[in-house]
Amino acid sequence: MIRLDPEKYQKRLDEQQPQAAKRRSFWRIFFISTGTLLLISTIFGMVILVSVVRSCDRAFEQTADDIVKIAEDFKKLSEIADIDISEEEALYITGEECYNSGEYAAAIESFTKASEMGHAGATYYLGLCYRDGKGVDKDSNKSIEYFQLAADQGSLKAQAELAKQYVNNGMKDDADKALEVIQRAANEGDEEAKKMLSTFEEQKDDIVEEVKTYIPTIEEKAKDLGLDIDLSKIKISF
């Protein structure tokens, strides 16, 4: 049986009490300090959050003000420049943008409205659409109608294109129309029409010379048939 010495036991307790008190004091200080830091960081975080929110509000207000200012400046600029685009020109520009981006149905809608208002460029584009089958079925007759209308409205491109259409049809009446249209476009300064007219004149001379080479043969065949004809007096012209 172990016996405890009361004096020694009391002595050990007296020695341990200051250490325990120190440990309790350390943990008390630690928890108080940690809690204080957490509280401070929370308050600081809230301050930062409020500051960010206020900054966002100020930035939004500034952006909105900038937008209003830009709109006002643009309005003033428009008034100073006296910008005035007609409705048919606006429709034509819209149609051209749609045409170039491949939105042919929308392009035709805009071009049709502009054409009805007398816009030659829009009418010319309608001719292209019907010629190439863009947004509509190919229709050479319809394309010629639009090219003719655009030419009458003053489009040099339409006049040159109309001449090509007449030549491609290969009929004499159409060839006469083609030459007339080419001549008119060339007189108005269209470079493509001038080139076409030059080519036509060269081909015309070649055709006349080729026909002349057949005249002796035709006269000889006529004599075999008992006919006496003189084709040298016939004037070959276009």
Query: Which residue bears the tokens 């809690």?
Result: 35
Do 139 and 159 lie in a common domain?
Answer: no
What pLDDT is stored for residue 236 in this prediction? Answer: 46
Q: Taking a C-beta distance cutoff of 8 angstroms, is the pair 219, 229 a contact?
A: yes
Kindly state whether residue 33 falls inside one of the protein's structural domains.
Answer: no
* Model confidence pLDDT, tens digit, residues 62-97: 444 554 454 455 445 445 445 567 888 889 999 999
What pLDDT is stored for residue 176 in this prediction? Answer: 58
Do 234 and 161 lie in a common domain?
Answer: yes
Kindly state whether residue 197 falls inside one of the protein's structural domains.
Answer: yes
DSSP class of residue 236 equals P
* Model confidence pLDDT, tens digit, residues 125-167: 999 999 999 999 999 889 989 988 998 888 878 877 877 776 6
| pTM of this structure | 0.44
Kindly state whether residue 201 falls inside one of the protein's structural domains.
Answer: yes
Give the number of C-alpha atoms closer than 13 A to the C-alpha of residue 151, restricted to the C-beta side: 27
Tokens coding 53: 């929110």
Cα separation, 41 vs 35, in Å, equals 10
| Single-letter amino acid, residue 167 | V
What pLDDT is stored for residue 7 in this prediction? Answer: 55
CA-nearest of 136, 199, 134 to 163 is 199
103, 133, 154 - which closes a domain: 154
Do 183 and 236 lie in a common domain?
Answer: yes
Query: Which residue bears the tokens 């520009």?
Result: 93
Calculate the average pLDDT of the chain: 66
